[in-house]
Amino acid sequence: MLKLEKRPQPSRAWTYLTPVLAVVVTMLAGGALFAMLGNDPVEAIRTIFWEPLFGEFASYYRPQLLVKAGPLILIAIGLSLGFRAGIWNIGAEGQYIIGAITGAAVGLAFYPVDLWVIFPLMILAGALGGWVWAMIPGLLKVRFGTNEILVSLMLVYVAEQLLAKMALGLLRNPEGRGFPGSRNLQQYPAAHNAEIITGTGMHWGVVAAFIAVIFAYVLLSRHILGHQIQLAGQAPRAARFAGVNPARLTLICLGLSGALAGMAGMFEVSGPAGQISIDFNVGYGFTAIIVAFLGRLHPVGIALAGLLMALTYIGGEIAELNLSLPAAAIQMFQGMLLFFLLAVDVLTNYRVRLRTAEVA
């Protein structure tokens, strides 16, 4: 029989090996899932991971990696700061939506004026919108001791209702003949988040994502706030003795994660998505949770994990088209990644031992 034996301290080797092992196990389990759906498992896995990079139309799909990875990395960086401190913001999807609404609203308010200052104002509005939405669970937790997991998650559904209301009401295109959705920001140069270098997928949201990676790395390794974040997560009692203010840290971490998620929403609505619509949100806020943990809550790891998750998004779309795989199967495949990561992460803190039979 097997038993788990607690390690004296977490294994450094397994800390880096578990994400790799989780990806491999996910491929195996995903292959079994695709086989049960009547598809060739090898072909399905090859389509998801190979076609976007080296397939016949790779020149079209490769730039999309940055487009998909940008919002995932930006949101995951913000979430990771809170997760490290033991502050669980599960509502980044709502903050992403509100950031898109506020950012688009500022841009549309100036339509059709063409001024360079409009886009920076949209970035600020998007960040502010996400920050305000994250402050709701933050202030409720600090003032009344509510659970930030439940409050932030419930606010996602409120944000989705606001999104529908805006697409059908205040932000609806007055020239859209009654159809839901705002004006197309891609056709409004002052508010369009266009590619910086044509054909690369590199837009300002991607730039912001990699700036956030550098910022988070410096914060965690060089700044006193980063030290407080890590101390609060690893030893809460020691953090209080060291003078860390839990309420202040909660508001800072939730505020940062909300602002980054809001910026991600603004960059998306002014770029790839192009408009506020009822189905604008595609789950980036939830997928970013997987990205954060797959990247071991480390900024560089999150950047790599974001690119990997973007690959599954694009490869999944190709598999849906070429192999007729249902979208739900691709979403389940992505969800498996977090499930198996959490499962194999046990090996970081525990050894597997063979239990010897006791002699009576």
For 100-159, write each residue's pLDDT tens digit. Answer: 999 999 999 999 999 999 999 999 999 999 999 999 999 999 999 999 999 999 999 999
User: Average pLDDT for residues 49-72, to the nearest whole number?
Assistant: 92
Distance CA 152, CA 137 (A): 6
Which tokens belong to 144?
A: 């009344």
In the chain, where the domains are located: 40-324
Q: What is the DSSP string of 82-107?
A: HHHTT-----HHHHHHHHHHHHHHHH
pLDDT attached to residue 355: 73
pLDDT in tens, 75-86: 999 999 999 999
**Mean pLDDT over the full length of the chain:** 93
Whether domain 40-324 has CATH 1.10.3470: the reply is: yes
Q: What digits encode the pLDDT tens for the residues 304-346?
A: 999 999 999 999 999 999 999 998 999 899 889 888 988 888 8
Instruction: State whether residue 2 is helix, strand or coil.
Output: strand
Q: Which residue has the tokens 């999150």?
A: 302
**What percent of the chain shows pLDDT beyond 70?**
99
Q: How far apart are CA 225 and CA 208, in angstroms?
A: 21
Task: Tell me if the pTM is above 0.85.
Answer: yes
Give the length of the chain.
360
Contact in structure between 278 and 165 (CB atoms under 8 Å): no
Phi, psi dihedrals of residue 2, rounded to the nearest 5° = -100, 150
CA angle 320, 343, 328 (to 5 degrees): 20
Answer whether residue 46 shows pLDDT above 70.
yes
Alpha carbon separation from 134 to 137, 212, 291 (Å, rounded): 6, 18, 20
pLDDT of residue 358: 54
HSE (side-chain half, CA atoms, 13 Å) at 3? 6
In this prediction, residues 8-21 reach a mean pLDDT of 87
Report how far residue 61's alpha carbon sits from residue 197's, in angstroms, rounded to the nearest whole number. Answer: 16
Confidence label for 357 from pLDDT (cuts 50, 70 and 90): low
C-alpha distance from residue 47 to each of 53, 62, 158, 338 (Å): 10, 14, 37, 21
Displacement of CA 57 from its chain's centroid (Å):
26
Q: Look at residue 14 in the predicted model and tell me its pLDDT.
A: 87
Residues 274, 179 contacting (CB under 8 angstroms): no
The pLDDT tens digits for 185-229 are 999 999 999 999 888 999 999 999 999 999 999 999 999 999 999
